[in-house]
């Protein structure tokens, strides 16, 4: 496996992270892997409390964009002291970055103590890092793999940016994930505050809200299967920003084509129940 496409970098916080030379992007660039994951996904989604209170089977987390496993490992650290069953389903098209991270566990820090479980996940496709947690790896294209996992209660959406990986931010992909959730309750968190991404999520059937600040970002994005799950949903005043934006067109067909929203898309957007 080619690991030359990655390198370790030191962030402003002092923590180390992984940079992908091919895409020119550093993972968890704001505060480091464990800190960003805790702020953006674990605490914002109230993962521990929701998992402990969940009934009717395991609490299912979709870890979309496993990368160097920062989000999954931070979730495991947070879930150590509960007893409720949890399933983590990690989706990754190329595990080279995790192979690279596994060779630099001392420098990265957050992977320390989890090496054997990660190695088992990579070789077997499944691991049991905690007595009550099953961790499964889904290799390949996310859109083709998401039907193989049970419906999620939480989604950590953390692929490369829309500019570098537009297929992972498409209307078709977000709609497929929303359909997989069905009538269940689910929260989806991601690091962007992009108007275009928020429009895409909304048109795909998600209720969309303002996410927490993390690192240098004053806000991120959170989406939910039902608007009443959101503390700060986007309101009609946000629609004014959409209408005026030159980068609000939803992403379709795996293409990164920034532009203003069309009249048809804007009409569909403002007709959604969230903005009624």
Residue 257 lies in a domain: yes
Residue 166 lies in a domain: yes
Residue 25 lies in a domain: no
Residue 202 lies in a domain: yes
- Distance CA(12)–CA(242), nearest Å, equals 33
* pLDDT tens for each residue of 189-205: 999 999 999 999 999 99
What domain range includes position 198?
Answer: 31-275
Q: Please provide the DSSP assignment of 197-245 as one string.
A: HHHHHHHTT-EEEEEPPBTTBS-EEEEESSGGG-SSB--HHHHHHHHH-
* pLDDT tens for each residue of 45-85: 999 999 999 999 999 999 999 988 999 999 999 999 999 99
What pLDDT tens digit does each residue of the chain (276 aa) get?
Answer: 456 677 767 766 666 666 666 666 665 555 656 788 999 999 999 999 999 999 999 999 999 999 889 999 999 999 999 999 999 999 999 998 888 888 888 777 788 899 999 999 999 999 999 999 999 999 999 999 999 999 999 999 999 889 989 999 999 999 999 999 999 999 999 999 999 999 999 999 999 999 999 888 899 999 999 999 999 999 999 999 999 999 999 999 988 999 999 999 999 999 999 998
Residue 2 lies in a domain: no
- Distance CA(248)–CA(257), nearest Å, equals 10
Residue 149 lies in a domain: yes
Residue 247 lies in a domain: yes
Structural domain tally of the chain? 1
Buried b (16+ CB within 10 A) or exposed e, 54-83: beeebbbbbbbbbbbbbbbbbbbbbbeebe
CATH number at residue 262: 3.40.50.150
Q: Kindly report the pTM of this predicted structure.
A: 0.92
Residue 39 lies in a domain: yes
User: Distances in Å between the alpha carbon of 80 and those of 3, 103, 105, 170, 203?
Assistant: 31, 25, 20, 34, 37
């Amino acid at each position: 496996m080619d690991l030359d496409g990655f390198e370790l970098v030191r962030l402003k916080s002092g923590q180390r992270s992984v940079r992908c030379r091919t895409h020119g992007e550093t993972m968890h660039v704001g505060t480091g892997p464990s800190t960003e994951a805790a702020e953006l996904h674990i605490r914002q989604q109230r993962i521990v409390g929701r998992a402990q209170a969940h009934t009717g089977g395991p609490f299912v987390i979709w870890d979309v964009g496993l990368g160097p496993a920062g989000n999954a490992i931070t979730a495991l650290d947070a879930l150590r002291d509960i007893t409720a069953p949890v399933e983590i389903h990690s989706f990754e098209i190329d595990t080279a970055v995790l192979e690279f991270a596994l060779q630099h566990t001392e420098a990265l820090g957050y992977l320390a103590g989890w090496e054997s479980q990660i190695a088992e996940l990579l070789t077997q496709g499944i691991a049991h890092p905690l007595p009550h947690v099953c961790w499964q790896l889904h290799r390949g294209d996310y859109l083709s793999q998401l039907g193989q996992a049970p419906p999620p209660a939480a989604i950590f959406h953390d692929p490369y940016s829309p500019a570098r990986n537009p297929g992972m931010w498409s209307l078709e992909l977000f709609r497929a994930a929303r359909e997989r959730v069905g009538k269940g309750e689910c929260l989806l968190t991601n690091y962007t505050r992009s108007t275009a991404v928020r429009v895409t999520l909304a048109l795909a059937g998600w209720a969309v809200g303002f996410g927490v600040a993390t690192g240098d970002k004053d806000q991120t994005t959170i989406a939910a299967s039902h608007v009443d799950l959101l503390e700060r949903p986007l309101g009609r005043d946000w629609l004014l920003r959409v209408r005026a934006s030159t980068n609000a067109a939803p992403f379709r067909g795996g293409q990164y084509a920034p532009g203003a929203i069309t009249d048809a898309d804007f009409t569909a957007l403002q007709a959604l129940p969230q903005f009624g």
